[in-house]
Amino acid sequence: GQQVMQIPQYQHVQEGEDFTTYCNSSTTLSNIQWYKQRPGGHPVFLIQLVKSGEVKKQKRLTFQFGEAKKNSSLHITATQTTDVGTYFCAGNDYKLSFGAGTTVTVRA
Amino acid sequence: GAVVSQHPSRVICKSGTSVKIECRSLDFQATTMFWYRQFPKQSLMLMATSNEGSKATYEQGVEKDKFLINHASLTLSTLTVTSAHPEDSSFYICSARDNPSAYNEQFFGPGTRLTVL
């Protein structure tokens, strides 16, 4: 079945700095979704990427879908304390296959 | 946006007892709901796909006789953990789509934290 790898598992960031989390799939994806889970909370949908090479932005967040539709990335600029949480990518072939997640902590 | 609720939010039970968790779509109808399990500091693992009016589809390695799923209506799915044991302690989360399209986002419930003593 579909396997989605995500790195890094942990990201400790200085407030104001940028960071990127990466996802790679063992198979070509129809589309990929990104979710954020705050500590003690549940996953909340961020965005969906469908087209090869697609790039979408949400304020300080930039999402990319690779040309081969097998990898994706999330780049956050000027990290804030509100960015704390775990970011999951999920390959979508009707059911979601979640990556391991990148847990982000921010030092002020 | 679409809202999914779960009840209870937390449950503590003795080993050997059964626990029922409810998942409701509050403002939309969901022909399909999904049940996930999340262990501490780990990712979400899909347990089963719950289909309204038919049997659930279980993922490999998930015991269907232990995790009973009933999708009795378009707004309610239940997961019953039968004869629970301490290793079943986990965070159980359901999700649903408000559109049958496979390419839509899933809306997650707040989760149920199960502790088996």
pLDDT tens digits for range A45-94? 999 999 999 999 999 999 999 999 999 999 999 999 999 999 999 998 77
Closest CA to A101 of B116, B43, B20, B6: B43
Beta carbons within 8 Å of B63's beta carbon, 6+ residues apart: none
- Helices (H) and strands (E) in chain B — how many of each? 0, 11
Neighbours of B29 (CB within 10 A): 12
Neighbours of A68 (CB within 10 A): 11
Residues of A within 8 A of B102 (CB-CB) are 30, 92-94
* Residue of higher predicted confidence among A38 and B31: A38
What distance in Å separates the CA atoms of residue B92 and residue A33, rounded to the nearest whole number?
20
Residue B102 confidence (pLDDT) above 80 = no
Q: Kindly identify which residue of chain A lies nearest to residue B92, measuring between CA atoms.
A: A42
Confidence of residue B110 (pLDDT cuts 50, 70, 90): very high
Residues of B within 8 A of A44 (CB-CB) are 108
Contacting A with CB below 8 Å, chain B residues are 34, 41-46, 49, 93, 95, 102-103, 105-111
Give me the pLDDT at residue A95, please: 85
CB contact under 8 A, B103 and A103: no
Mean pLDDT of B49-78: 93
Neighbours of A48 (CB within 10 A): 18
CB contact under 8 A, A96 and B46: yes
